[in-house]
A and B are shown apart, each in its own frame.
Chain A
Amino acid sequence: MTMRVDAKVVMLGKESVGKTSLVERYVHHRFLVGPYQNTIGAAFVAKPIQVADKVVTLGIWDTAGSERYEAMSRIYYRGARAAIVCYDLTDTSSFQRAKFWVNELQNCEEHCKIYLCGTKLDLIESDRGLRQVDYHDVQDFADEIGATHFETSSKTGSKVDELFEKVAEDYNSISFQFMTEETGIDLGQKKDSYFYTCCHS
């Protein structure tokens, strides 16, 4: 009796930008301090959320940012209704990487809504000099690609719930238009050739 998932949501972004921390904050209302533990492969968690008068269950895929898993990423974002593309506000290169993911999504997942999320806002708030990614630049980029833009802190919790609530609301309103299309996750597609499945003989 697996929980039924309504909308597949994928977290994308360079390693250590704070994807896992966002999910931790949203799902478990906590921020883990201590040495950074990079995600291995991906982690899945289902989270029901109340939208208007109904409950939408988000199936959140927290992917690993490491390049090692890049070839795998398609299975995580395939059929996703929303992608939260994260970058670290204190790291320009992470925004370049975010653009890479946006491009990837635009090419492969046209029905996937994109949310650009600048992370670690608390660091900027304590020291403005740390900001490396300009708010307005990202806003312009977001307008251009039709994305929604947030700046969050998993440490303080700032804007985290808003981000996921927006995702669920958008899903809820858009899903009326897509009534005929499949909801949930499509598992029946064929493998890509890059990763080899095992022959066991």
Chain B
Amino acid sequence: MAGDVHNKGVSWEVQQNGTLAPVDRLRNDRSESPTPGLVEGTEPGAGQESAMFVHAQSFEDLTADNEVPTETEPKGDSVLGESVEEEALCLAAEEKIQEDLHRSKEEDVCTEAWRSHRKHVFVLSEAGKPIYTRYGTEEALSSTMGVMMALVSVVEADKNIIRSIHADGYKVVFLRKTPLVLVGVSRTCQSDLELTRELQYIYYQIVSLLTLTQLNHIFQHKQNYDLRRLLAGSEHLTDNLLQMLDRDPGLLLSAVTCLPLASSTRDLVSSSLQAAKAKNLVFSILLAGDRLVTLVRKKDQYLHHMDLHLLFNLVGSSSSFREGEGWTPICLPKFNTAGFFHAHISYLEPASDLCLILVSTDREDFFNLSECKHRFLERLSRRSAYQALKEALKCPSYSVTQVGIPELRHFLYKSKSSGLYTSPELSLPYQSEEEQERLMGLYQYLHSRLHHPKRPLRSVYRCGETENLMAWVTSGFELYLCFSPLGTKALAVAAVNKLLRWIRKEEDRLFILSPLTY
């Protein structure tokens, strides 16, 4: 079927190797911008030595344990091309509804307001027992969840698997992960695959608290177990994760963003962390709010970005670690779903944004890790790197105007080999929460186009009423740009090269180029 956005909607010819502009033009730019990242490992932001994260074709890997959906696309979605895209864009524009007004758990599930939430997420056990709902209480929804489970089992009785239902502007997506069933009900324009990916995050969030081994164990012994008993107090972690999925481009890109920092300072921080090692220490992670300052890992051990996002979520959604030093078991499901790591979590200073996470394999390691933290801090302050770091915290982001492309409003650039991305702060008109989520919706849409399981695209260009969008993926990077609606395609194409040069110039500040191990 047609559905070829590629030919219909894109103005320039994308060549087979993913080169955007005429090749000779790139050659001219070489001195300034040595091969702008068309090959993985040479793109701006690529680390000098080994990568920090599990090496993966990010998105594909992330969904690897989930087979590609079969070709059963419903009507609405199979008419690809202009119509759907325009619809998607304006749909997203309208989606401002009442979100946040009704976040409360006490919400009555029979009301229109409850129904009108953009995205519902339900988790239930295979016996149909409610475990989590994003809105309202699980009790009030037990019959709804029963129906969901019935649906899943009826379809499965026929050796089929139910993946999604599309009806009346809603998408219902199912993810069965024994012993849990996750259901997403969405009115957004996200694809089934994207929604499934979000459900996987929720699944892993639950696994990170309990381990899969323990989950299986529980349900093998008692099918009817009410898992909320064990998850009590963790609902806000899941709530917060869902909000991150709506707002944080890192989860979409399967990448992490860094605090902009002079590379000399970052290297000092990294080497101080490297020096503060302990026998069972596997990962040392320094965060500044929701940004990575540095990550030092045990040789040959890689962290998966998804596990890192779960750690970000744990730290970000709880003030618990502000009091003293936290010590908690945590399963990093992408590393190993069977066991717990033990994380020492503390802020460098009481009111600071700098949070240190030390991950050990030994549950008795608390005082060893506490000692590591002290050694790290001592070393850091001796070299005055601490002062420089605190100084850098004052401007944790940068303005898009620094790039010097007038029509460019915002962008996301991910270096594939490092698993890191960079993005300017959100400026007008994207500062309100609604607008922020709308922009994210647009990026999600572009992302789903580039990563379509059946018809992936190398690039997308789309004019809209409120902004023009462009996305481009090569083997080295992924780039998403948002321009004012006044821009032209020609300008956008020129902008890409300029932006890549700028990122190359700034890369040692925006990325972690020399990750360390111990």
Residues of A at under 8 Å CB distance from B? 1-2, 15, 20, 23-24, 27-28, 37-45, 60, 62, 64-69, 72, 75, 185, 187-189, 191, 195-200
With A40-B326, A42-B328, A44-B327 known as contacts, the answer to whether A75 contacts B364 (CB < 8 A) is: yes
Q: CB-CB < 8 A to A38: which residues of B?
A: 233, 320
Mostly, the B contact residues are mixed
Partner of A43, one of B232, B233, B324: B324
Given A75-B364, A198-B361, 13 other A-B residues pairs in contact with their CB atoms under 8 A: A20-B320, A40-B314, A40-B320, A41-B326, A44-B324, A64-B233, A195-B340, A196-B338, A196-B339, A197-B362, A197-B363, A199-B339, A200-B335
**Are A37 and B320 neighbours in the complex by a CB distance under 8 Å?**
yes
Q: Could you jot down 26 A-B contacts, CB within 8 Å? A: A24-B323, A27-B324, A28-B323, A39-B320, A40-B320, A40-B326, A40-B328, A41-B327, A41-B343, A42-B326, A43-B324, A60-B324, A67-B229, A68-B209, A68-B210, A68-B233, A195-B340, A195-B363, A196-B338, A196-B340, A198-B336, A198-B339, A198-B340, A198-B341, A200-B282, A200-B361
B505 to chain A, nearest CB (A): 38
Query: Would B326 and A43 count as touching, CB distance under 8 A?
Result: yes
Q: What mask results when residues 220 to 240 of chain B are scored 1 for a CB within 8 Å of chain A, else 0?
A: 000000000111111000000
Q: Which 5 A-B pairs have the closest CB atoms?
A: A41-B328, A45-B324, A38-B233, A198-B339, A196-B339
Task: Say yes or no for B265: interface residue by CB 8 A criterion.
Answer: no
Which residues in chain B, 459-481, are within 8 Å of chain A measured between CB atoms? Answer: none
The distance in angstroms between the C-alpha atoms of A39 and B371, with both chains bound, is 22
The residue on A at minimum CB distance from B370 is A2
Q: Interface residues of B toward A: which range? A: 35 or more
- Please report the C-alpha to C-alpha distance between residue A41 and residue B339 in the assembled complex, in whole angstroms: 16
Contact with A along B347-381 (1 / 0, CB 8 A): 00000000000000111101110110010001000
A72 / chain B contacts, CB cutoff of 8 Å:
329, 363
- Which of B's residues lie within 8 Å of A, judged by CB? 209-211, 213, 229-234, 282, 298, 301, 314, 318-321, 323-329, 335-336, 338-341, 343, 361-364, 366-368, 370-371, 374, 378
Instruction: Choose one: A27, A66, A197; the contact of B233 (CB below 8 Å).
Output: A66
Shortest Cβ distance from residue B231 to the other chain A in the assembled complex, whole angstroms:
7
B341–A41 contact, CB under 8 A? no
- Indicate if the CB atoms of B374 and A1 lie closer than 8 Å: yes
> Which residue of chain A has the shortest Cβ distance to B229 in the bound complex?
A67
Instruction: Give CA–CA (A198, B340) in the complex, Å.
Output: 6
